[in-house]
Amino acid sequence: MAESKSEQGRSPRIDIVGGGVSGLNTGIEALKSGKQVRIFEAEPYNPTLAQNPEQQRIIRRASDAGSAQWYPYVEGGLNKGEQEDQLQWMEDALDSYLEREIVEGYSSAMARRRNFELMRDAEPMPDYLRGMLEKFGPVKEFGDVPKNPLEYSYGYDFTTLAINSPAMLTALRQEFNELGGNFVSKKIESADEFYELPGDVLVNCTGLGSSELFPDTG
């Protein structure tokens, strides 16, 4: 069906369910490549919500709560090629953020920060971290660590890009709108409703909401 629609000469339509950081970034990339994009989002977006500790308990959008740092991570059990792909994907994500660093709206949503990754016990330091993170090394002086409630005694000290998530979501929403994307406030109630969406390509970006949409009993 998708092919016959495209053959009619119009650009493909992408329907994305979920308007967190994944859905918005997916939508922006699809718009830039000439697609028509709709995002369906269940929760009204409210940037002040994420800053209110009382409200944080009921937040269902990870992108509202996570103050994200860029920190490369390779999952266990991958072969060498898969590891390289994963690291390349992380480099690409960093490049895409750095390209936006000077763009109005985005510039206030990110900053380079000194950060710490703390552990209970000493672990072998992955080589890729040394090559990818600025000023990377073991924590030498635990007095420099601002928060260490569990009194971990080992960790890494580095500088990386930190994202202010509410500001980033606002900037992504703005870019999505400016590129001509269509943001629809609507919850997709079931897997059937998802598959009935008319887009040529359907993308599930519902994050934790995915378990409700596609009940996973495993």
Q: Which residues bind ligand FAD (CB under 6 A)?
A: 17-23, 40-43, 60-63, 65-66, 68-69, 187-188, 205-209, 213
Helix (H, G, I), strand (E, B), or coil: what is residue 85? Answer: helix
Beta strand 110-119 pairing with 154-163: antiparallel
> Please, which residue, 11 or 93, has the CB nearer to ligand FAD?
93
Phi first, then psi: give them for residue 140, nearest 5 degrees.
-100, -35
For the bound state, the minimum distance from the C-beta of residue 48 to ligand FAD, rounded and expressed in Å, comes to 16
> Please, which residue, 11 or 182, has the CB nearer to ligand FAD?
182
Rg (CA), the chain: 20
Provide the terminal-to-terminal Cα distance of the chain, rounded to the nearest Å.
Answer: 32
For the bound state, the minimum distance from the C-beta of residue 70 to ligand FAD, rounded and expressed in Å, comes to 7
For the bound state, the minimum distance from the C-beta of residue 176 to ligand FAD, rounded and expressed in Å, comes to 13
The most distant pair of C-alpha atoms in the chain lies apart, rounded to whole Å, by 65
Query: Which of 171, 163, 213 is CA-nearest to residue 40?
Result: 213
> Please, which residue, 13 or 25, has the CB nearer to ligand FAD?
25
Distance between CA atoms of residues 17 and 202, nearest Å: 8
> Please, which residue, 47 or 66, has the CB nearer to ligand FAD?
66
For the bound state, the minimum distance from the C-beta of residue 3 to ligand FAD, rounded and expressed in Å, comes to 27
